[in-house]
Amino acid sequence: MNNDTTPEYIHGTDPDEQARLSLLNDLLNPGSLRELHLQGGERILDVGSGLGQLSRAMARVTGVRVLGIERSAEQLAEAERQAAQAGEAALVEFRQGDALQFPLRDEEWGTFDLAHTRFLLEHLGDPLPAVQAMVRALRPGGRIVLEDDDHDVLHLWPEPPDFAVLWQAYQRSYEHLGNDPVIGRRLVSLLVEAGAVPVRNTFVFFGSCAGEPRFSLYVENLIGVIGGARTTVVEARLLDAEAFDAAIAALRAWSRDAAATLWYAVSWVEGRRVD
């Protein structure tokens, strides 16, 4: 990882990226909710709430307003727009704030039943302070859940031409910006370092194959993820533009193969505050 740079969010917040994130939520949220085992009545803090779709889904299950913290003004505006459009503005209170300095009032610390984050820690140069703050926000016995990527988990079969080179360049673009593309394998360690007791780790499967009704949506998300890093990859000379575009074209062609299969999984860990 390049420690000389301030970490940057690699994907941006333009409308195309927000549309991709909405699609990602549609595909992944059912699995994330399943693993949360919400019982109803939980007070939830969602750190890095993004477009707020998962925050609203959690609130629908618990019947309690979720507090979502998001740094990006663009993401917050779209989250509020989507919530209002769905008639669910009352389900989430969104606050603008940094993951390293939660915008909580003094009396709110130590009151949450669940602190959750997804796809945030990979974008922090030092994620430990954020996890420590999440633990501090919990009541004694409260749960902390971390969901994030380990990009080495991805496999495509049959592998498209030059995909391995493209995917390696994509991962290196994370490192170039000061981020961690394989943080998923470190999540339990982060819980321990933050003072929580880890109680469970698993994967949320995120894959599909040709013939499944939503396979094209998984492919669209994958191409959108990689394509969003094109400028960084090319400008950092991790892969030249011609090779990048050829590999993307090969990926599109691969998606039409009757045997095309995409295997991926999001790392998911749970801990508890014990004091």
Model pLDDT for residues 33-68, shown as the tens digit of each residue: 999 999 999 999 999 999 999 999 999 999 999 999
Q: How far apart are CA 57 and CA 173, in angstroms?
A: 32
Q: Are strands 92-96 and 155-157 parallel, antiparallel or unpaired?
A: unpaired
Domains of the chain (ranges, CATH numbers): 15-272 (3.40.50.150)
Per DSSP, which regions of 164-207 are E strands? 197-205
Please give the structure tokens belonging to residue 266. 């999001």
Residue 147 pLDDT > 80: yes
Contact 70, 76 (CB under 8 A): yes
Q: How far apart are CA 22 and CA 36, in angstroms?
A: 20
- Segment 85-107 mean pLDDT: 96
DSSP-derived 3-state class of residue 121: helix
Q: What is the percent of the chain where pLDDT is above 90? A: 90
Residue 3 pLDDT > 70: no
Nearest to 47 by CA among 37, 58, 38, 39: 58
- Segment 265-273 mean pLDDT: 98
Q: How far apart are CA 229 and CA 245, in angstroms?
A: 12
Contact 266, 28 (CB under 8 A): yes
Nearest to 211 by CA among 154, 251, 259, 265: 259
Q: DSSP class of residue 260? A: -
The predicted pLDDT at position 11 comes to 58
Other CB atoms within a 10 A radius of the CB of residue 126 amount to 12
- Segment 223-250 mean pLDDT: 96
Residue 81 pLDDT > 60: yes
Instruction: Give the DSSP H/E element, type plus range, for residue 265.
Output: strand 265-272
What's the alpha-carbon Rg for the chain, to the nearest Å?
19
The predicted pLDDT at position 9 comes to 54
Q: How far apart are CA 230 and CA 226, in angstroms?
A: 7
Nearest to 25 by CA among 108, 147, 140: 147
Residue 13 pLDDT > 80: no
The predicted pLDDT at position 15 comes to 76
The predicted pLDDT at position 7 comes to 54
Query: Taking the alpha carbons of 13, 31, 27, 181 in that order, is the dihedral positive or negative?
Result: positive
- Segment 235-241 mean pLDDT: 97
Q: How far apart are CA 179 and CA 201, in angstroms?
A: 22
The mean pLDDT value of the chain amounts to: 93
The predicted pLDDT at position 106 comes to 98
- In this prediction, residue 5 has a pLDDT band, given cuts at 50, 70 and 90, of very low
Q: How far apart are CA 176 and CA 274, in angstroms?
A: 37
Query: Taking the alpha carbons of 92, 95, 98, 102 in that order, is the dihedral positive or negative?
Result: negative
The predicted pLDDT at position 70 comes to 96
CA distances from 273 to 25, 123, 137, 240 (A): 28, 24, 10, 47
Residue 1 pLDDT > 50: no
